[in-house]
A and B are shown apart, each in its own frame.
Chain A
Amino acid sequence: MNLNELEKTANDEQKKVPSDLEHNIDTLINTLAFAENLKSRKESHKLGNQMKWLSMAATFVLVIGFAWLMLSKQSEPKDTFSDPREAYAYFSSTMNRIASEFNDGMDKANAAMSTIKTVMSNETK
């Protein structure tokens, strides 16, 4: 058939469109859109999981670093004396000095208190 005959045939015949064609096209479009959506959600979920693990690891490293910094300040100094007798001699001389200072302070406080009491009793008279 030549072109003119084809054209004539097309104009003459009544072609029927299937009644459910529109429905089928809609269903196909919806199915493709759903598949596309599902795929992108899976990818973002995978990325979210990776970020979550990364943030947990970073937090853990931060906490450990902070703990190490704080605990390093508390390291035990080395004992100055290796002989316990020398250590005891130094310890007792230091404690005796402190006790002497404490007693001097208490004596002054007691003397001041008795002076205050004397003044107050004189004033009441």
Chain B
Amino acid sequence: MKKLVFLMFAFIIANSGQAQVGKEFSNKYSGSEGVRITYISSGIFDMMGQEIKDAQFGNISLESFQGMSVIDCDDSATIKRIKKDIDLKIQNEYELLIENKEDDKCTRIYRTKTKKRTDTIELIVITEEPEDINIVFIDAASMKKSKK
């Protein structure tokens, strides 16, 4: 009985850990002060022609695309909360690919860490300006999976 309960908890926690970060943040900050959320699922492109689906964006094609969430915020208090949350999330699970500073704008691009990499690529692009923050979460199947 104890083993069964332990296995059930482990299964639930493991599955919840794989929850996509973009969806998690979208659900959490939806309706918050100054926050605009844009969500695009992979299903919406199913209605488009094959030539569109074959379009490439770097290593991501529309066929491998699994979802995109964009969070845009211009409220200072909410920006602080979002920054705190995202920094905590990134700290342990993501690695920095590029940081680009230009005047007052700073853009950082993160990817899931090598150890945690599965068949899904998760990219986080954070653009910070003095009174605005824009975070883009992109989920796509890895090139290995999409070539199969």
Name A's B-contacting residues (CB within 8 A): 56, 59, 63, 66-67, 70-71, 73-81, 84-85, 87-88, 90-92, 94-96, 98-99, 101-102, 104-106, 108-109
Name 5 interchain pairs, CB-CB below 8 A, sorted by A: A63-B12, A71-B15, A76-B23, A96-B57, A98-B123
Supposing A63-B9, A94-B68 touch, asked if A81 and B44 sit within 8 A by C-beta, the answer is: yes
- Write out, one digit per residue, whether chain B residues 27-55 have a CB within 8 A of any chain A CB (1) or not (0): 10010000001111101110110001001
Q: How long is the Cα–Cα vector from A95 to B109 in the complex, in angstroms?
A: 12
| A71 / chain B contacts, CB cutoff of 8 Å | 12, 15-16
Q: Which of B38, B43, B70 has the most CB of A within 10 A?
A: B38
| Given contacts A73-B27, A88-B52, A94 and B136 within 8 Å (CB-CB) | yes
**A interface secondary structure, majority:** helix
Q: How far is the CA of A42 from the CA of B37 in the complex (A)?
A: 64
Contacting pair A77 B37 (CB below 8 A): yes
Most buried by A among B1, B41, B45, B52: B41
A77 CA to B23 CA, complexed, in Å: 7
CB of B112 closer than 8 Å to a CB of A: no
On whether A84 and B100 interact (CB within 8 A), knowing A67-B12, A77-B39, the answer reads: no
Note all chain A residues with C-beta closer than 8 A to B77. Answer: none
Shortest Cβ gap from A73 to chain B (Å): 6
